[in-house]
Amino acid sequence: MKTELTTLLNIEYPIIQGAMAWVSDGELAASVSNAGGAGTIAAGGRTVDWVREQIQIARKITDKPFGVNIMLMADNRDEIVNLICKEKVAYATLGAGNPVPYFEKLHKATVTVIPVVPNLRIAKKVAYEGADAIVIEGMEAGGHVGNLTTMALMTQVILEVDIPVVVAGGIADGRGLAAALVMGAAGVQMGTRFLASTECNAHWKAKNKIVEASDIDTVLTGFVHKHYVRGIRNKMTDKYLELEKQGASEEALGQLFIGTNKKGVFDGDVEWGSIQAGQSLTVIDKIEPCEVLIGKIIQDAKKALLSIQKYTT
């Protein structure tokens, strides 16, 4: 399946694995890349040494392209960028801050630059400044999100920029990939779908929480202070929302939330930890190897694309 994204990253299928804190490591990234997609190591909250180790692990498992996500709010972002440039990984996705100051350095190191953006204004800005592609992420996604839906972003952004657009947020199967391609996207980014994969090192309780979830089992926290985070509803999110209604301070809410991501997906505390996940959950009904997942996604996407041809006559 050839698109602008597969050409840009030299991959077989137009699928990027989203960077999920604590679980998007070298093993998962390499497994996705070996299956024909583009695997991504999540550097957020991690040390430079850890990221270096994961790059080395990935290179032992695959000779295919993979990337690293840079969380621009992190204190060690400059050191992470330096490492990526030194290691010359295939691409970097950048989010949670202004990515433009890093474009020149990454390009000089032949690293493909793919910012993650929440709206049209920022999409135009990064495209003008020289981004190679962008990820537009709708609020259906898991984790930190904006306030525009995936459909609204596709409708408005794809027509307005002249670089490849990758769609994220609620994309969990082949029909979602097909829909994005029909809208003019170059590919998709999926996170939650790969959280429930065999090669993902998330705790089995967190994986099962995803598989067992219904379509209404995610909630958004952070309305009061506009730090929106989507995850599976549990005791922690109920307590958080209760405190928000009571007018709790940002500091008090932060004390409840801090460390919960690791507690949820890594330690397996699925009640008081955070299981960040997107809204398209019911199609994730089993834990399977990345090769099987991607194979089915591509098969279903092709089937969906063929099925709509009847409307062109």
- Backbone torsions φ then ψ of 69, nearest 5 degrees: -95, 135
Which of the four pLDDT bands, split at 50, 70 and 90, describes residue 227? confident
Which of the four pLDDT bands, split at 50, 70 and 90, describes residue 210? very high
Query: pTM higher than 0.75, yes or no?
Result: yes
pLDDT at 249: 86
Close Cβ partners of 59 (under 8 Å, ≥ 6 residues apart): 30
Can you list the domains of the chain with their CATH numbers? Answer: 4-200+283-302 (3.20.20.70), 204-266 (no CATH)
Contacts by residues 128-133 (CB-CB < 8 Å, ≥ 24 positions apart): 129/100, 129/103, 130/103, 130/104, 131/99, 131/103, 131/163, 132/8, 132/91, 132/163, 132/164, 133/4, 133/5, 133/8, 133/163, 133/164, 133/165, 133/166, 133/186
The stretch 181-204 carries a mean pLDDT of 96
pLDDT at 27: 96
224, 208 Cβ separation under 8 angstroms: no
Q: What is the pLDDT of residues 99-129, one digit of tens each?
A: 999 999 999 999 999 999 999 999 999 999 9
